[in-house]
Structure 1
């Protein structure tokens, strides 16, 4: 008998957690979005600022985005390393506002980030649903790996065997059928 809450309570808790997460993210002085490979951050600015007024530093494990002499929008440690030479920032003007757009290229292109900097509120990365179009951008091998990771993650959460474990179980089943004379009662999987 498992003592997990009934599905409707779990859904309510999920919805509340999502609402809290959205509120926390909305309160940040920047917006951010990610794919499995990279991260994009935008900061809206007053149109009077120019590139020379900004203080943007991108390093392997830290990021700072600020207007000189003011409280930074972002200043802290990154949760994971980035490729500095592949990461960029630009200042763009849209009508009466300007925007700093920062693009960070992840070193490990197989993991979701819970936040941009470690001091910021986290998002629940297990709830990320990568858009299929993004998966479609990956080459066949990488896409297969990502899909397998996502499948294995879901299986683990449900206490089911991962694809590799399932393969072993299937092979063992096949082998048992081919060799009915052998006793497999003591075989341990692992």
Structure 2
């Protein structure tokens, strides 16, 4: 019989997991961060390089990046699709030299990535990601409507009231009852 961990045990394990993830990420030859909408990767390169010395190939499900004539730093299938036409790369001068800066635009704006490529030696535990705070006004119309409906339905459930879908079904039933007064609905159940 397994028992669930106490809050202090869970906190200790989460702290150990974060430390392990930071250690594994430090071993990668690049750094990466993500938001729910995009992924940013930086690859350190020697400061004497110019844009023509860099090789970057971004496809819907594939990424390759590195220095011409050398083994690529990143070369493999992506775990999820990107919009290649909306994704960019630049060669930037930074304090420690130069770096290739890649910006990948995710196709699915509702999905966290566990790694940059599926052949990466490092995978992030996406269940521990805390979504960034965003305002409803930041969302496009369709997404905003969907989020507002989900929030409304959640509040309704918490109060023991019907969700918007259930309200729609009940309204349809009432309309049907009015159109058919000859029918007995006393034993009708919503399913």
Structure 1 length-normalised TM: 0.73
Deviations 1:149-170 (A, max 9, x none): 8x8xxxxxxxxxx939937952
Report the Cα offset of residue 7 of structure 1.
Answer: 2.0
2:99 pairs with 1:99: yes
Measured at CA, do residues 99 and 9 of structure 1 come closer, stay the same or move farther in structure 2, by a change above 3 Å? same
Q: C-alpha separation between the residues in 2 aligned to 1:147 and 1:26?
A: 39
| 3-state SS, counterpart of residue 123 of structure 1 | coil
Partner in structure 2 of residue 126 of structure 1: 127
Q: C-alpha separation between the residues in 1 aligned to 2:117 and 2:15?
A: 24
Q: Contact (CA 8 Å) 1:110, 1:146: kept in 2 or not?
A: no
Measured at CA, do residues 24 and 170 of structure 1 come closer, stay the same or move farther in structure 2, by a change above 3 Å? same
Partner in structure 1 of residue 53 of structure 2: 53
Long gaps (5+) in structure 1: 152-161, 176-181
Partner in structure 1 of residue 112 of structure 2: 112
Q: C-alpha separation between the residues in 2 aligned to 1:17 and 1:59?
A: 32
Larger Rg: 2
Measured at CA, do residues 112 and 145 of structure 1 come closer, stay the same or move farther in structure 2, by a change above 3 Å? farther
Q: C-alpha separation between the residues in 2 aligned to 1:141 and 1:26?
A: 39
Q: Contact (CA 8 Å) 1:35, 1:134: kept in 2 or not?
A: no
Long gaps (5+) in structure 2: 171-185
Q: Contact (CA 8 Å) 1:61, 1:81: kept in 2 or not?
A: yes
Q: Contact (CA 8 Å) 1:79, 1:113: kept in 2 or not?
A: yes
Partner in structure 2 of residue 74 of structure 1: 74
Q: C-alpha separation between the residues in 2 aligned to 1:27 and 1:58?
A: 23
Report the Cα offset of residue 141 of structure 1.
Answer: 5.0
Deviations 1:77-132 (A, max 9, x none): 10001111111111112356111111111111111111111122111212222332
Measured at CA, do residues 92 and 122 of structure 1 come closer, stay the same or move farther in structure 2, by a change above 3 Å? same
| 3-state SS, counterpart of residue 26 of structure 2 | helix
Partner in structure 1 of residue 65 of structure 2: 65
